[in-house]
Amino acid sequence: MIEIKNIQKKFGDRQVLAGIDGCFQPGETSLIIGGSGTGKSVLLKCMIGLVQPDLGEVLYDGRNFLTADDDTRKAIRREMGVLFQGSALFDSKSVFDNVRFPLDMLTTMTEEEKVERAHASLQRVGLENAEQRMPSEISGGMKKRVGIARAIVMNPKYLFCDEPNSGLDPLTSIKIDQLIKEITDEYKITTVVITHDMNSMMEIGEKIMFLYEGNKLWEGNSDTLAHSDVDRLNEFIYANKLLREMEGK
């Protein structure tokens, strides 16, 4: 379980996060949604330690990540997998080497164990045939899948995905969502996903948190999403014309 308490962050005079609380459960895919520039990525970066919040706590199963000593921080980092918005594959390494990289750097596994684990991970995302290709030679959707394979190769307890389906066609996008959800169920991972995508919200939103200008305005799930009385949230989800028509609003 991940708990965040009163996360605040300012860049200069701009209050990007104004005190966010939340709780993310294992085996559950939690979504963070909200318009562009509302601080979703900054919140995620605060949680994974790439940005230092001005105030607040991030607890990984009770361990305070921000104040922990170096060893504890390292231990927690080894338990998390991150899929970045642009996949962030190492472009000098092949698909296979990207996936086995964390094993090389962070474990003392034997060569066979590493190869087997990396294979299994790539198989899980359906890329066993692209192992020797370079990141520059594969499509955006494949990159995301390699990113997921790399994020799960260490068997993480916590998985973070920043817009896993931005820039993908609807079909690929649904496949990626399903994959994330399945992995989360299968390994009982605590998963946090940032998304703009209405489909994802309806399909995999077991828990949804809506951010607006650095505040959490609403929390619920895919069933209650469309029936909230939060104006900002309704504006956000009914920006989509088709949905508006379908719901008769």
Partner 1 sequence: MVTLGRYFIFLGTLFRDRERTSVYLRLILDECVSIGVNSVFIVAIVSSFIGAVTCVQTAYNLDNPFVPRNIIAFIVRDSTILEFAPTISSIVLAGKVGSSIAGQLGTMRVTEQIDALEVMGINSSSYLVLPKVLGAMLMFPLLTMMAAFLGILGGYLAGVLVGVISHEDFISGLRFDYNPFGIKFALIKTEVFAFLIATISAYQGFNVSGGALEVGNASTNAVTASCISIIVADFVLTQLLLA
Ligand X SMILES: Nc1ncnc2c1ncn2[C@@H]1O[C@H](COP(=O)(O)OP(=O)(O)OP(=O)(O)O)[C@@H](O)[C@H]1O
List of residues contacting partner 1 (CB under 8 A): 48-50, 70, 73-74, 77-78, 80, 82, 84-86, 88-91, 102, 104-106
Q: What DSSP string describes 67-111?
A: TS-HHHHHHHHHTEEEE-TT----TTS-HHHHHHHHHHHH----H
- Report the nearest approach of partner 1 to the CB of residue 209 (Å): 21
Q: Based on the shown chain and the rule CB under 5 A, indicate whether residue 98 belongs to the binding site for Mg ion.
A: no
- Report the nearest approach of Mg ion to the CB of residue 33 (Å): 11
2, 4, 7, 16: which one contacts ligand X (CB under 6 A)? Answer: 16
Q: Measured from the CB atom, is 49 or 56 closer to partner 1? A: 49
Q: Based on the shown chain and the rule CB under 6 A, indicate whether residue 39 belongs to the binding site for ligand X.
A: yes
Q: Based on the shown chain and the rule CB under 6 A, indicate whether residue 191 belongs to the binding site for ligand X.
A: no
36, 52, 108, 129: which one contacts ligand X (CB under 6 A)? Answer: 36
Q: Of these partners, Mg ion, ligand X, partner 1, none, which one is at the site of residue 201 (CB under 5 to 8 Å by kind)? A: none
What are residue 144's DSSP bridge partners? none
Q: Measured from the CB atom, is 68 or 226 closer to partner 1? A: 68
